[in-house]
Structure 1
């Protein structure tokens, strides 16, 4: 990579507030992915490798996102996102510490794991749309594609390091200590948020209007270039993106892996996602709808192939490709939706995006949990991949109206007063 390309890839890190945000998020996200492995391993151990129990935990964790994330997006548009994120991370940390303590003291029961998953889901319904829309306030519209891609990159770095570390810690110390580490990791995000300079944020002042959910839905309905990728994300998320359920089932029931090996399988998937995320940092403008559809089709093919993998090594290699295509699709869809949305509605639009991408997880988890119970873990990958491929083919026809949309909307003029020397360089501006 040339010097100029490297500068473009990390351009948004020149903004101090975003640098702080990234540092806090890396630490917290590592803890979160350690928690995912520990929680899955705990549930499988308590229930005799029950796919139904694991899918129930997943469904409970994401059900509040399905039901409440539109309201969370409304809160993000109406109130101070920095304050919302601070409170949400503190609450998440306390929840993890409580569950870890229950595990270490031997008082944990399956219902308490269910309760933790539900409570964390309630917090995430507010935290996710606030966090996603907060990135735009940190860097402004010009650097938003780069910042969004870097956010995906650090998320996938955490997805590599977290599960691998969790696998080792579980083997030496047990799941309870991993959960305690996750609880403490949230303090990194809280510290980063409080160290930021609020005068350099680029969002509109909170509370300027009632920020009604219905207004956001009507706005999306008038924008076919936003509506079509949202519909494609819905189909792929429900049928294909159930990796929190399908990866541990594949590792333990097909390849009979231990905790450490399971972490390596997850890391292979995350490494592919990381490659796609870093490639996305070079994006400077809004992606075409054709790119979103092609990347969804590529994901469907890759996931289907995982279901037919004959060996552990082959599965790991195909999971690398699946991770790459997953992130490429999710980023392309996110950038097309976010960069095509009026900043006044961005919190609600991203709330809807989050509802579709993550709130659909309970439906997908329950569906694929049943598939796994009756046809095995391999069938979940084959069925999910084929359904995603069909959805992409349908979108080719359904998306003709929205294929060529209006250019990305600039942020309100009021925000321009907050731009500083960190983002004025002309060569960093996206080409229109």
Structure 2
């Protein structure tokens, strides 16, 4: 997108936002469908859709026909898929491991997902240098084939039986009222919404930080920043996996530390310092999100879990259509340091808010 638009932060923010707009507008309905349907079957469809989107984008780039509007359309298609995919993946974890291991499983899942942030940029930089940008999209499309094979290879009889929700009126509103009336669910959900909206826009802020602040046009150096954050995310996920029970107190501490580290990245004098600070930033960010995720899964009932996790996905990912363009505009009007600083400041305030709430509870 930066190549197509002359390094325009707003267009980059819009393309990222479109991937999560359906989650913001219709995420609760996606969660309801997940509660009513086999989560494994939902994942077959969503993973296939994501793979096809990557394949089409690769073909457009390889034939020099890629245009901004086409990227927007494919981003929106991926967003529709994510509306069902994210709550299905989150709720499916408990079916695979059971309630007793949910905290460990959520944290390990976060670590594994973010290992791609460590390995992917390094691979993509080499692929771009050797074969061009289109090859990255083809490799990405191929990765979904591996996911589909893994889903097909699962022994369904070993999954924890989950009672599906029967169709009835008012089930979406019932899920909203359920979360609103339960502070153990409401508090971490609000915190994740604030941080997800303004802090987790690294696909917007980091490339702009590299190109505008550090004046580096090499894709490999952006990959180094993502790899550093990915390494921290793996460490953070593995560390949280050792804790048997998440708590609001733990989440508040992680929020404060995440905000402080992100502020350090915003104030970094050079790219080396930013890279170093992105390691703890990645660790505390994933530990924060994993702790909130586990709290929601452990404290929600079986028949509500899909809707609760869809609200988590809406708060964390669905908020991107709001936050990404805002942060992109801030970066355009000022500089990327300010965009990162806004996210850092609000994350720090959120952590302090949780400190107060944890003391009250």
Q: Does the TM-score normalized on the shorter chain lie above 0.5?
A: yes
* Pairwise CA distance, 1:399: 5.3
Matched residue, 1:271: 231
Alignment of 1:283-302 (within 5 A): 283-285=243-245, 287-302=246-261
Separation of aligned partners in 1, 2:254 and 2:330: 25
| Residues 1:76 and 2:34 aligned together | yes
User: 5+ unaligned residues in a row in structure 1: which ranges?
Assistant: 1-42, 404-432
| Residues 1:87 and 2:45 aligned together | yes
State TM-score, norm by structure 2.
0.96
* Pairwise CA distance, 1:55: 0.6
* Pairwise CA distance, 1:215: 1.4
Separation of aligned partners in 2, 1:251 and 1:203: 48
| Residues 92-119 of structure 1: CA deviation (Å, up to 9, x unaligned) | 1111111110110111111101111111
Would the aligned equivalents of 1:171 and 1:259 in 2 still touch at CA under 8 Å? no
| Residues 1:221 and 2:180 aligned together | yes
State TM-score, norm by structure 1.
0.81
Would the aligned equivalents of 1:78 and 1:209 in 2 still touch at CA under 8 Å? yes
Matched residue, 1:426: none
Matched residue, 2:123: 165
Matched residue, 1:317: 276
| Paired positions, count | 359
Would the aligned equivalents of 1:63 and 1:362 in 2 still touch at CA under 8 Å? yes
SS in 1 for 2:100: helix
Separation of aligned partners in 2, 1:295 and 1:111: 39
Separation of aligned partners in 1, 2:341 and 2:165: 47
Would the aligned equivalents of 1:150 and 1:278 in 2 still touch at CA under 8 Å? yes
Matched residue, 1:391: 350
Matched residue, 1:424: none
Separation of aligned partners in 1, 2:241 and 2:187: 24
Question: Higher Cα Rg: structure 1 or 2?
Answer: 1
Matched residue, 2:148: 190
Aligned with 1:332 (options 291, 296, 312)? 291
Matched residue, 1:308: 267
* Pairwise CA distance, 1:236: 1.1
Aligned with 2:21 (options 55, 60, 63)? 63
Would the aligned equivalents of 1:234 and 1:356 in 2 still touch at CA under 8 Å? yes
Separation of aligned partners in 1, 2:330 and 2:167: 46
Separation of aligned partners in 1, 2:356 and 2:103: 27
User: 5+ unaligned residues in a row in structure 2: which ranges?
Assistant: none
Separation of aligned partners in 1, 2:355 and 2:275: 31
Would the aligned equivalents of 1:136 and 1:203 in 2 still touch at CA under 8 Å? no
Let me know the Cα RMSD of the aligned residues. 1.4
Alignment CA distance shift 1:141-1:89 (3 Å): same
